[in-house]
Chain A
Amino acid sequence: MENRVFNNIVRENQEKVYSLFRGMVQTHEEADDLTQETFIKVYKSLDKFKGNSQMFTWIYRIAVNTGINYIRKEKMKQFVGLENVNLKEEESQNELSSQSKALLNKGIKKLPAKQQMVIMLRSFQELSYKEISNIMNITVNSAKVNYSHAVKNLKDILENMGVSYETL
């Protein structure tokens, strides 16, 4: 495959993919790493793209799977005690524009991986349930149910952390 074609694919989709990850992680570097990982997977599997869905849906699907794996690896690292959670929290509070956004980020991290992704896609990327269902390979109804559970759980988590939804 010509590099020129691939480079155009990257140019056309990089902002969406980067934004998806940037809402999920605390630093530009982490989002950049995940974006690179996604497009390397895209490069390697372009011959598998049959055109049954839109290119951006296919790329998003790869990005979402990359993101879910990242979240789960982070949870695994925390589980085996490799992650310095306090340091990460300090970093996020320094970087984010307000403390409430840092707390929101902290709350989202407590959600299961797929619920985190649904929040990213629906609330942060403002995709339709139909688009989410195509990207996550689930039914539209499952996308709706996942989102409603994610929002309810997140609201409860934030309330338990003493964060008011009005100040977000």
Chain B
Amino acid sequence: MKLCKKIQPQLILYAEKELRGNDLIKVENHIKICSECQQELKALTAFSTNLKPAEYIIPATYSSELIVNIHKKLDKEKSTIKKFIPSISLVSAAILIVLSLVYINDSNMTSEDFLLYNSISSNDLLTEIENFDIEEDITTSLMPDNYISDSQKYILENTTLKSDDYNEVFASMDDTDFDAFLENAKSIKL
């Protein structure tokens, strides 16, 4: 059974003829004698064969509409006056969030209490966070150490990140790191 657990994750690759060397020999030898893994191989092969997306049609005019819409957005961005006030409000919002997190940790405040206390909806809070231009000190203070790997932490600590860059770092997290991120978020009682 122990061997089955090691072999089964490789069965789909065996079916796709993607295994080489020792891995291939081990799987081949095992499935000759293991009926459970033979069945699993059959099931996984059928499953991956049937794994196709739903059919959809790309509208005929999509390409030209897409280009127009992209340029509209780009033009809108270019024409937006660089505002001075938002940078002040962003810093204020950051200080509010950091102080609130400290306060929540001290007071065992629930997320609902927190939102009522600050008279903002959770939607507003999420929008605020998503639209944030994240600066080095804010990013690192908002994210507990174990949310991110050492290399990601290094990047965060050594660069001034704008939101797009932050998204790239966020996307580079492993799934397990992201799950840990969510688990830690739960423990913040926000």
Given A96-B54, A97-B54, CB of A144 within 8 Å of CB of B13: yes
The number of A-B residue pairs with CB atoms under 8 Å apart is 135
Contact of B175 among A104, A115, A148 (CB under 8 A): A115
Find residues 24-46 in chain A having any chain B CB closer than 8 Å to their own CB: 28, 32, 35-36, 39-41, 43-44
The list of the 10 closest CB pairs from A to B, nearest first, reads A112-B175, A165-B47, A65-B171, A101-B54, A23-B53, A168-B50, A123-B51, A68-B171, A96-B54, A124-B53
Interface contact A166-B46, CB-CB below 8 Å: yes
Chain A residues bordering chain B, tally (CB within 8 A): 61
B123 touches A (CB below 8 Å): yes
B25 touches A (CB below 8 Å): no
Interface contact A114-B74, CB-CB below 8 Å: no
Interface contact A148-B13, CB-CB below 8 Å: yes
Task: For residue B57, give the distance in angstroms from its CB to the closest CB of chain A.
Answer: 9
Binding site for A on B (CB under 8 A): 8-13, 18, 43-44, 46-48, 50-56, 58-59, 62-63, 66-67, 69-71, 73-74, 111, 122-123, 126, 130, 164, 167-168, 170-172, 174-176, 178-179, 182, 185-186
A43 (CB) vs chain B CBs: closest residue: B74
B11 (CB) vs chain A CBs: closest residue: A148
Find residues 77-110 in chain A having any chain B CB closer than 8 Å to their own CB: 77, 79-82, 96-98, 101-102, 104-105
B65 (CB) vs chain A CBs: closest residue: A32
A41 (CB) vs chain B CBs: closest residue: B164
Contact of B171 among A19, A69, A82 (CB under 8 A): A69
- A-B contacts, 8 of them at CB < 8 A, read A22-B56, A23-B54, A36-B66, A36-B69, A43-B74, A44-B164, A114-B175, A166-B50
Interface contact B63-A123, CB-CB below 8 Å: no
Report which residue of B11, B130, B174, B175 has the largest number of chain A beta carbons within 10 angstroms of its beta carbon: B175
Interface contact B66-A10, CB-CB below 8 Å: yes
Interface contact A119-B51, CB-CB below 8 Å: yes
A148 and B23 alpha carbons, distance in the complex (Å): 14
- In the assembled complex, which residues on chain A have CB atoms less than 8 Å from the CB atom of B46? 165-166
Interface contact B167-A80, CB-CB below 8 Å: no
B167 (CB) vs chain A CBs: closest residue: A69
A147 touches B (CB below 8 Å): yes
